[in-house]
Amino acid sequence: MGPVDLAGRRHAGLQRRVAGGRVVRHLPLFFDVTGRKVVVVGKGPAADRRADLARSAGAEVSRVAADAAIAEFRGAAAAFISTGTLEGDTAAQRVAKAAGVPVNVADRPALCDFILPAIVDRDGVVVAISTGGASPTLASVLRGRIEAALPERIGALARLARTFRAQANALIPDPARRRGFWRRLVDGPAARLVLAGDEAGARRVALGELDAVRRRMSPVGIAHIVGAGPGDPDLLTIRAVQLLQEADAILHDELVPAAILGRARRDAELVPVGKRAGWKERGIPGWAQADMEAELVRRVRAGQTVVRLKAGDPFIFGRGGEEVEALRAAGLPVSIVPGVTAALGCAASVGIPLTHRRLASAVTFVSGHGADGREATWPALAARLGEKGGHTLAIYMGATEAASVRDRLLDAGTAPTTPVAIVENGTRPDERVSVGRLADLARLAATHTRGDAGPSLIIVGEVAGLAAAAGQPLLAEVS
């Protein structure tokens, strides 16, 4: 009968929790009603839809009147009620409950033992979406999005997996290796063939995979260098979300927030391998780059699918290039998934266009670390800020070096009245922005470097002044 959200009535004050502390209003189950009795009470479109759904799942549907006796409910697996009136629904629900039958009452969540979710059925692959009765419209919208994302031949892929299920389980007793085989089957060459319509070719590839296991060949894993974006999980790419769901292990930066790690598969191993500014001075250990690269190589050689999850974009001050080089030098497969880099995400979040027809014709990304000692860089940057048509500097990891950034730019001739903005925790719920002038940069940054302050980006140039116009508070006094 498609998926049915069966759960006992929620007792007052009771919270059902799953891993991670999330509260679940209903327990999602797929309920086999093949050959079983399902009672449908009432007439009209809602009752007809429920009767048709139950029949499509193989149930024996019994249509009864609103005043049906208790005997008509006995032995039923479930009852659907849609009489059209509150009085009729309530009376039928009481009779069904007296017969010990779980009940769904159309559009009356308070009377339901289980709710009927929005359903995507793609040739036997079924997805159920529930909002706990809060918004059927939202569930319908989500159903549309899932339908658009699922390949048309996904059911054929499920049938391929069913064909080899018994053989794989018999040949691969180790759960981790078995999971690796299934991941390769449903997201590798065999999957691509079956989705393209070549089921015979897909079976040959699957047999080859099984043969490799039979000969005890240890498969090599793969590393994916993935950008996590600036912090908002909704800014993850579709590919990034897919890989988080497939990974055996996720080696993540310290700056990747819990909201993004929450998109990972429940049993994926989460390994923090990052470090933050000031840790070394405070004696807090962090991973050296060489050690992290060695860990990536070790895990891929062991056959794991590894996601190296990096804040922002892996190739914008993320050292992703070094990790790719290490994996390629070891002869291991690697892919790169870009992310929304901090300059783009943070600027957009506070309404700052990094380029603007009247104010800035170009933008330069620069690291604030090393503001001391690179004397040749800052005169060139200052010159760009003064160019006709304007220029924007996006300075990463610059809050702790704000005084040095200010002094280098001022010494190189940048006007002290040049607008600046500091965006902390850009795109996240605790985002903060300070706007002022270059001369005030160190004072502005002081509020973004205290205690457990989050990552900050400095934007220098005429466009920085537009943050206030976008409705952001002007925290600096401009005179």
Please tell me which residue in 89, 232, 248, 275 is annotated as part of the active site. 275
143-157, 204-218, 241-255, 325-339: least confidently modelled range: 204-218
94-98, 164-168, 181-185: least confidently modelled range: 181-185
pLDDT at 169 exceeding the cut of 70: yes
Integer Cα distance of 259 and 366 in angstroms: 28
**Which of the four pLDDT bands, split at 50, 70 and 90, describes residue 100?**
very high
Distances 75 to 64, 69, 244, 343 between C-alpha atoms, Å: 14, 13, 44, 63
Residues whose CB falls within 8 Å of the CB of residue 452, separated by 6 or more in sequence, listed in order: none
Instruction: Tell me the sheet residues that pair with 139.
Output: none
Assess contact for 117 and 104: CB atoms under 8 A.
Answer: no
Determine the average pLDDT of the residues in 175-200: 84
Q: What is the pLDDT of residue 285?
A: 67
- Per the annotation, the verdict on 253 as an active-site residue is yes
Within a 10 A sphere around the Cβ of 417, how many other Cβ atoms?
A: 12
**Which of the four pLDDT bands, split at 50, 70 and 90, describes residue 15?**
very low
Q: What is the pLDDT of residue 349?
A: 94
**Which of the four pLDDT bands, split at 50, 70 and 90, describes residue 278?**
low
pLDDT at 72 exceeding the cut of 90: yes
**Which of the four pLDDT bands, split at 50, 70 and 90, describes residue 189?**
confident
pLDDT at 282 exceeding the cut of 80: no
pLDDT at 439 exceeding the cut of 50: yes
Name residue 353's amino acid.
P
Write the burial class of residue 260 (CB in 10 Å: 0-12 exposed, 13-18 middle, 19+ buried): buried
pLDDT at 478 exceeding the cut of 70: no
Q: What is the pLDDT of residue 458?
A: 96
Nearest alpha-carbon partner for 341 in 317, 367, 309, 371: 317
Integer Cα distance of 33 and 51 in angstroms: 13
Please tell me which residue in 248, 253, 313, 440 is annotated as part of the active site. 253
Q: What is the pLDDT of residue 315?
A: 96
Cα radius of gyration rounded to whole Å, the chain: 29
pLDDT at 17 exceeding the cut of 50: no
Residues whose CB falls within 8 Å of the CB of residue 24, separated by 6 or more in sequence, listed in order: 16, 17, 18
pLDDT at 25 exceeding the cut of 90: no
Distances 466 to 204, 354, 385, 456, 478 between C-alpha atoms, Å: 60, 10, 16, 18, 14
pLDDT at 10 exceeding the cut of 70: no
Residues whose CB falls within 8 Å of the CB of residue 375, separated by 6 or more in sequence, listed in order: 408
Domains defined for the chain, CATH in brackets: 3-116 (3.40.50.720), 154-214 (no CATH), 222-340 (3.40.1010.10), 343-469 (3.30.950.10)
Q: What is the pLDDT of residue 312?
A: 95
Determine the average pLDDT of the residues in 406-428: 94
pLDDT at 97 exceeding the cut of 90: yes
- Per the annotation, the verdict on 275 as an active-site residue is yes
pLDDT at 148 exceeding the cut of 80: yes
Distances 432 to 148, 429, 435 between C-alpha atoms, Å: 36, 9, 10
Percent of the chain predicted with pLDDT > 70: 88
pLDDT at 396 exceeding the cut of 90: yes
Q: What is the mean pLDDT of the chain?
A: 86
Assess contact for 457 and 395: CB atoms under 8 A.
Answer: yes
Determine the average pLDDT of the residues in 402-412: 92
Label each residue of the chain as H, E or C. Answer: CCEEEECCCCCCCCCCECCCCCECCCCCEECCCCCCEEEEECCCHHHHHHHHHHHHCCCEEEEECCCCCHHHCCCCCEEEECCCCHHHHHHHHHHHHHCCCCEEECCCHHHCCEECCEEEEECCEEEEECCCCCCHHHHHHHHHHHHHHCCCCHHHHHHHHHHHHHHHHHHCCCHHHHHHHHHHHHHCHHHHHHHCCCHHHHHHHHHHHHHHHHCCCCCCCEEEEEECECCCHHHCCHHHHHHHHHCCEEEECCCCCHHHHCCCCCCCEEEECCCCCCCCCCCCCCCCHHHHHHHHHHHHHCCCEEEEEECECCCCCCCHHHHHHHHHHCCCCEEEECCCCHHHHHHHHCCCCCCECCCECCEEEEECCCCCCCCCHHHHHHHHHCCCCCCEEEEECCHHHHHHHHHHHHHCCCCCCCEEEEEECCCCCCCEEEEEEHHHHHHHHHCCCCCCCCCEEEEECHHHHHHHHCCCCCCCCCC
Q: What is the pLDDT of residues 194-241, one digit of tens each?
A: 988 999 988 998 888 888 777 766 667 889 999 999 999 999 999 899
Q: How far apart are the first and last CA of the chain?
A: 70
**Which of the four pLDDT bands, split at 50, 70 and 90, describes residue 246?**
confident
pLDDT at 49 exceeding the cut of 90: yes
Q: What is the pLDDT of residue 208?
A: 85
Determine the average pLDDT of the residues in 92-98: 96
**Which of the four pLDDT bands, split at 50, 70 and 90, describes residue 171?**
confident
Q: What is the pLDDT of residue 364?
A: 94
Write the burial class of residue 356 (CB in 10 Å: 0-12 exposed, 13-18 middle, 19+ buried): middle
Q: What is the pLDDT of residue 13?
A: 35
Name residue 336's amino acid.
I
Integer Cα distance of 64 and 74 in angstroms: 13
pLDDT at 149 exceeding the cut of 70: yes
pLDDT at 454 exceeding the cut of 90: no
Length reported for the chain = 479
Q: What is the pLDDT of residue 217?
A: 61
